[in-house]
Structure 1
Amino acid sequence: MHLLLNFIDRVDYTSYEDLYTHFKINVPDNFNFAYDVVDVYAEKDPKKEALVWCDDNDEKHIFTFKDLSLASKRTANFLKMHGIQKGDRVQLMLRRRYEFWFFLLALHRIGAIAVPATNMLSAADLEYRFNAAEIKMVVAYDDPAMQKEIETARAKSPSVETLVAVGQPRQGWTSFYDDYEICASKFERPTGENEIKNDDIMVIYFTSGTSSNPKMVAHTFTYPLGHIVTAKYWQNVVDGGRHLTVAETGWAKALWGKIYGQWLAGSAVFTYDMNTFIPGKLLEKMADYKITTFCAPPTVYRYLLQHDISKYDLSSLTYCVTAGEALNVDIYNRWFEKTGHRLREGYGQTEVTLSEGNYPWMDPHPGSMGKPSPGYRIEIVRPDGTPCDDEEVGEIIIKIDGGKPFGMFGGYYKDPERTEKVFEGGVYHTGDTAWRDKDGYCWFIGRTDDLIKSSGYRISPFEVEEVLLKHPAVMEVAVTGVEDPSRGQAIKATIVLQKGFNASKELAKDIQLFTKKVAASYKSPRIIDFVTELPKTISGKIRRASIREKDKQDQQKSDAEKAN
C-alpha cells in the first residue's frame, strides 16, 4: 500500500499535460510526516520495508515502518530528556548512517528544527552554522577528526549546549545509545501550546554557497508533500521497490530522494553508507540489493561508465534520473547504450522541490532539464524582466502572484534582506540561466555569475565543458572566465585528466585544437590549467567561484610584484 490518495485526488495520469493541469495536493491541517505517514504505515502495514541499509563494514539492516516508528519515538524521548523542545535547532552530522532517520523523524515528532550538515565541514564552517542558526544540540557519528572540529567550533558558539555521539562514546559528549535503550517507545502527538502547525519550520538546510556565505533555507512541515511529484512522477519509484539516491544527508538532495516522496509513494529507500565513493562497489550494491529506481548527479554516471556495466546484474533497474549539474549528452547516450535506460534530467534548488523535469510521458531531449513541474509557473526572462524568445538565454524565474508552488520555501531563516532580494518584483529569482526550445523544453546554462562575456559573445561554461569532455584525456573540467584586456574575458579550462594521461604543453595545445574542430573557435579555451581535483561544494557541485577568486588573487599578487 501507499498513502498517496490520502493527499492527492488521483494517482494515474495520461500525459504530461494532464499531470501539469490537474495535479493537486490536499493538505491536511497540522500535517506531520512522522505521525501521518510513518505511524500510519506502522499501523496498517507494519512489515512494509522502509529503509534498506548497508555499509562497508558488512553491517546491514532492513527497517520496516514499524521499526522506524518505534525507533523515532524512543529517539524523541531521548531528545526531550536532553532538553530539546519545539522550535529548537538540532544539527545532524550523520553522513548516511541509519540513525539519521531516527533523529529526523524524532525531531518532526517534537516540532524541533532539523539542521542536516555534511561531515566535510571545518571548524570555521561549523562555527558559522552554529551561530547563524543558534544550534542547541549537535548529533554526530563517531569520527574523531570530525568530532574535534565540532569541539573547536563549539568553544566559540554559546548556543550549543549538548554534543551527542552516535557510536563509540567520547569524553565530554552524551552517548546516544547509553540512553536510547532505556527510553520509552511511546510518544504522544503534541497538543496545546506545543501543537505543531503547517507553517512551523521543520528543517533548515544551508545552501552550498558557491559565491557567498551559505544561506539558511527554511522549509515548513508541509514540505514533504511537495516531493510527491519528485518521487512518483519524476523518479518514477515503484510501490514495494527500492530507490537509491546517491546523496549524503548533509545535502538537501537527500530529502528529495531518501525519505519523503519515496515513502509516500510506497517505495523503500536503499542507503549505502560508503566510506568513499568507489564506482564498482556501488554497482555491486545496486545488483545485490536489486535496486529498482536510481538517482545520481551526472558525475556519478560518468564514473560508473568507466566500468564494464555488463558484469553487474542490473535487471531490477526500471528507471534512472539525474540532477545537480547539467547532463552531458555523451553520458546520456552511453548510459542508454549500456543499460537501455534513458536518463531523465530534473532541475530544482534547495529552496524549492523539483521545478522542471523529464516526465514518463515525455520523450527526453538529451541534456534538457525538461518542462515545468505541476504548480510551477516558470519563465525565462531578460535582465529587464521581459520574457525571452525561444532559444534566447535568460534567468529562470518562478511566478508567485497566484500563490507559491507547493514545496517552495518561505524565506531565508533570520535574513529578511536576502529574502526580499530573491523575491524582488513579486517573483522568485533562481539566479540560474537557461533557454527554452520550440518544443517547450528548457536547457540549463549556469548561474548568472558563471556566464563568460568574451569578445562580445555570452558563453555558457557548460557548453564549453560539454565539448571538452569529449576529448579522451579529460575526466572532469570547470570552465571560467578570466580578465583579458582585449577580449574582456578569456576562457579558462581547469582540467582533471583521465588515468594514463600526463599534463604537458603539447596536451594542452591538442585539447585547444580539438575544441576548435568540434565547436565555434571563440569557445576554445585560451588558458588550460591541469589539476588533480576540482574545488566543489559540500553537495559535490563544481565551485567555479573558487577558481575565479584564486585567479583574481593570483593576478593581484602578480600586479603587486610588477609594481615593486
Structure 2
Amino acid sequence: MLSRPVPGAGPGHWCCLAAVPSIDYYMSMEDGKRPAIAAFWWINDKGDEVRWSFEELGFLTRKAANVLSDPCGLQRGDRVIVILPRIPEWWILNVACIRTGIVFIPGTSQLTAKDIFYRLQASKAKCIITNDTLAPAVDSVLPDCQFLKTKLIVSEGSRDGWLNFQELLKVAPADHNCVKTKSQDPMLIYFTSGSTGPPKMAEHSHSSYGIGFTVSGRYWLNLTPSDIFWNTSDTGWAKSACSSVFSPWSSGSCVFIHNMPQFEPTTIANTLSRYPITTFCTAPTAYCMLVQHGVTSYKFMSLRHCVTGGEPLNPEVMEQWKTQTGLDIYEGYGQTETVTICANVKGMKIKPGSMGKASPPYDVQVVDDQGDILPRGEEGNIAIRIKPTRPFCLFSRYLDNPEKTASTEHGNFYITGDRGIMDEEGYFWFVGRSDDIINSSGYRIGPFEVESALIQHPAVAESAVVSSPDPIRGE
C-alpha cells in the first residue's frame, strides 16, 4: 500500500502516493475498518482546535495542490520554500507538494532576512510561502531575488504583492490527479545546520524520505492505526518530516500537534495528561527540563511509548524519566541526510547511553579514515555501507555541491561525520562530532562523555563541554 507502481508505466515509475503518507489509502478505511480517531489533531494555547479525518485531509490537500498548480503557476520539479510555524496549513502544503511533484523546502520561523535571501538564491526557489511575521523580511530582500516568481501568504488579511492561501483554498477545485513521479525524483530539500561553513542543501527523493521514514514508524516509533503521536519538533527540521508526517500517516496513526510559543514543561506535562497521546517524541534537552520540573504528580494515562533523537540522551535523564513515569525512553540516531541510522526499538534491551543497533535497511559500521572497518570496541567514524548498493533511504546528494557529496564517501561507506564505538553486542555509542573532538596531549576526548559524567553529580543541572587552547596539551 505504501509503494504502488503506476499501471502501465515503465520501470522505476511510481505514483506520488509511494512517497506521500497513504492518506488516500486510509481514507478508504474510515468506514469502520480503522479506529475512530482523527488523522490530524491540532490545538494551541488559545483554545483553538482542529481535527481532520483522512478523508478531510485528502480533500484539503487536493485543493491545495490545485492552488499551487494554478494561481501559483508551479509545475513538477519546481522548488518552493515554506516557512511556517506549527499551523495546520504546513501539513496541507507538505502533502500538496508531493501530489504535484513540487520540491518542498522547509525553513524555521527563526530565519532572518539574510537567511531567507541565502536560501532563495541557493535553491533557486520559484515560490515562497510564509506568514505575516516573516513576509516583511521576504519583501526586504525581494529586489535581489531573480529566481522568485510567486509569494503566497498564510494570513487572515491581504498583503500587497502576495497571493492569499486561505482565500485561494476556499475557491480551489477539489479534484486533482497525482503527478506521476519516479522513486528517485527529488521531493525534499533540507538546509543543514551549517556547523562547518554555510548551510548545505541535502536533497531527498520520494524513496529516501517517503518510504525511509515508513520503516522508522513501524519499528522505532512502534506506531499502529490506533496511536496518537505527538512530536514537538519545529517544522523546519527533518525530525518533523519523520515524526509529524511520514512515519505516523504511513502507519495510519493520528498526528497530534500543540502549537506552543515556546517549550514549557508545565504545558507539556498538562497536555500529556489531558489528551490521549500514546506516543511522545521530544529532544533530550526537553526530557531534561521535564524531569527537572518533576512529572511524578502527573498521570499520563494513555502514554505507552517515548522516543527521542537529535542529540545524545544523558543516561541520568533516562533514569529519572523511568523513575518518575515508569516509562523507558527509546533513543534513535540519524541525520538530515540519512533518516534513522540506529535506534532502540521495542523488545530490545536498552543500554543507557547507547543509541541502539543499526536500523533496517542500513549496514552501519565504525570505520577508520580510509573506510576500513575497525574492531568492536574501537572508536572511529560512524558509517553506512553504500557499495555495492546505495540504501534507498539515504539522501541523493548535496545539491550543486559535488565536492561535498564526494567528500562523504570513503571506500564502500558514507561517513556521517560522527565518531562512535560499536560494542560486542552491536550497540552504538556516540562520542562526538568529528569536528567537535577535543585533542589533548594526544588523547581524543568526546565532549558528550564528559558532559554525561558531569550531569550525574547532584549539584549539576546542565553541562556543556568545549575545548580551550593550551600551549602544552594543545587543547
Do the two structures share a fold, i.e. TM-score over 0.5?
A: yes
Provide the residue aligned with 1:140 in structure 2: 130
Q: Is the 8 A contact 1:4 1:265 kept in 2?
A: no
1:312 aligns with 2:298: yes
Contact kept, 8 Å, 2:228 with 2:256, in 1: the verdict is: yes
d(CA) in 1 for partners of 2:19, 2:416: 31
Aligned to 2:85: 95
Distance in 2 between the 1:4 and 1:283 partners? 34
Q: Which amino acid aligns with 2:201?
A: M
Report Cα offsets for 1:366-406 as digits up to 9, x if no partner.
01001111111111012233322222110011111131223
Cα distance in structure 2, aligned partners of 1:6 and 1:161: 34
Name the CA distance, whole Å, in 1 between partners of 2:366 and 2:262: 39
Q: Report how far residue 482 of structure 1 moved.
A: 2.3
Letter in 1 for 2:83: M
CA RMSD of aligned residues (A): 1.9
1:432 is aligned to 2:421: no
Question: What are the ranges of 5 or more consecutive residues in structure 1 without an aligned counterpart?
Answer: 8-26, 490-564
In structure 1, C-alpha distance between the alignment counterparts of 2:412 and 2:427, rounded to whole Å:
24
Matching residue of 1:393? 379
Is it true that 1:64 corresponds to 2:50 in the alignment?
no
How far the C-alpha of 1:310 sits from its partner, in A, is 2.7
The reply on whether 1:32 has 2:17 as its aligned counterpart is yes
Which of 254, 279, 282 is equivalent to 1:293?
Answer: 279
| Aligned counterpart, 1:544 | none
SS of equivalent to 1:314: coil
Instruction: Please give the alpha-carbon distance, in whole angstroms, between the structure 1 residues aligned to 2:60 and 2:18.
Output: 15
Percent identity between the two aligned chains: 36
Counterpart residue number, 1:197? 182
Q: Deviations over 1:337-376 (max 9, x none)?
A: 1111111111111111111111212111001001111111
What is the aligned partner in structure 2 of residue 246 from structure 1? 232
| Residues 1:354 and 2:340 are matched in the alignment | yes
Which one of the candidate residues 223, 236, 256 is aligned to 1:237? 223
Are the counterparts in 1 of residues 212 and 392 from structure 2 also a CA contact under 8 Å? yes
Tell me how far apart the structure 2 counterparts of residues 204 and 248 of structure 1 sit (CA, whole Å): 16
Residue among 256, 266, 269 paired with 2:252:
266
Q: State the shift of 1:454 in Å.
A: 0.7
What is the CA–CA distance in structure 2 between the aligned matches of 1:482 and 1:374, rounded to whole Å?
40
Please tell me the residue identity of whatever aligns with 1:154. Answer: L
Change (3 A) 1:28 1:304: farther
Secondary structure at the counterpart of residue 259 of structure 1: helix
Secondary structure in structure 2 of the residue aligned to 1:439: coil
Secondary structure, aligned partner of 2:463 = strand
- Which of the numbers 191, 194, 218 marks the counterpart of 2:203? 218
Residue 374 of structure 1 aligns with an amino acid whose one-letter code is: P
Aligned position for 2:172 = 183
Question: Which letter maps to 1:225?
Answer: I
Q: What SS does the aligned partner of 1:450 have?
A: coil
Residues 21 and 245 in structure 2, CA contact (< 8 A), matched pair in contact too: no
Contact 2:19 2:206 (8 Å CA) reproduced: no
Q: Choose between structure 1 and 2: higher helix proportion.
A: 1
Q: Is the 8 A contact 1:49 1:240 kept in 2?
A: no
The one-letter code matched in structure 2 to 1:167 is S
Query: Which residue in the other structure is 1:420 paired with?
Result: 406
AA aligned opposite 2:198: N
Structure (1 or 2) with the larger CA radius of gyration: 1
Q: Which residue of 2 aligns with 1:157?
A: 145
Deviation at 1:229, TM superposition (A): 2.2
Q: Which amino acid aligns with 1:58?
A: G
- For residues 161-202 of structure 1, the C-alpha deviation after alignment (integer angstroms, 9 at most, x for no partner) is 222111233333221112211111111233xxxx32222111
* One-letter amino acid of the structure 2 residue matched with residue 389 of structure 1: P
Selected match of 1:50 from 36, 39, 51: 39
Check whether the contact 2:370–2:410 (CA below 8 A) recurs between aligned residues.
Answer: no
Using the TM superposition, give the Cα deviation of residue 48 of structure 1 relative to its aligned residue in structure 2, in angstroms. 5.3
Distance 1:357 1:326 in 2: 12
State the 1:28 CA deviation: 7.7
Tell me the CA shift for residue 50 of structure 1.
Answer: 1.1
Which range is displaced more, 148-157 or 39-48? Answer: 39-48
CA shift for structure 1 position 416: 1.5
* 1:126 paired residue number: 116
Distance 1:391 1:33, change over 3 A: same
* Residue 527 of structure 1: aligned partner: none
Matched letter for residue 136 of structure 2:
K
Q: CA–CA distance in 2 between the matches of 1:268 and 1:33?
A: 19
Give the TM-score normalised by the residue count of structure 2: 0.93
Judge conservation of contact 2:3–2:19 (CA < 8 Å) in 1.
no
Supply the distance in 2 between the matched residues of 1:79 and 1:473 (Cα, whole angstroms).
55
Contact 1:412 1:419 in 2 (8 A): yes
Question: Cα deviations across residues 32-66 of structure 1 (Å, max 9, x unaligned)?
Answer: 35777111222332775211111122111111111
AA matched with 2:85: R
1:55 to 1:293, Cα distance in 2 relative to 1, 3 A? same
Structure 1 letter corresponding to 2:101: G
Greater shift, 400-409 or 112-121, is seen at: 400-409
Q: 5 Å matches for 1:1-16?
A: none
Alpha-carbon separation, structure 2, partners of 1:4 and 1:105: 15
**Aligned mates of 1:277, 1:94 — CA distance in 2:** 17
Write the distance in 2 (CA, Å) between the matches of 1:311 and 1:108: 43
* Structure 2 counterpart of 1:166, from 131, 154, 160: 154
Residues 505-559 of structure 1 show CA distances to partners (whole Å, capped at 9, x for unaligned) of xxxxxxxxxxxxxxxxxxxxxxxxxxxxxxxxxxxxxxxxxxxxxxxxxxxxxxx
Whether the 8 Å CA contact 1:35–1:189 is kept in 2: the answer is no
1:91–1:138 CA contact under 8 A, matched in 2: yes
Report if aligned partners of 2:420, 2:432 keep a CA contact under 8 Å in 1.
Answer: yes
Amino acid at match of 1:421: S
Report SS of the residue matched to 1:49.
coil
Distance in 1 separating the partners of 2:419 and 2:97: 36
Contact 1:48 1:65 in 2 (8 A): no
Higher alpha-carbon deviation: 469-478 or 392-401: 469-478
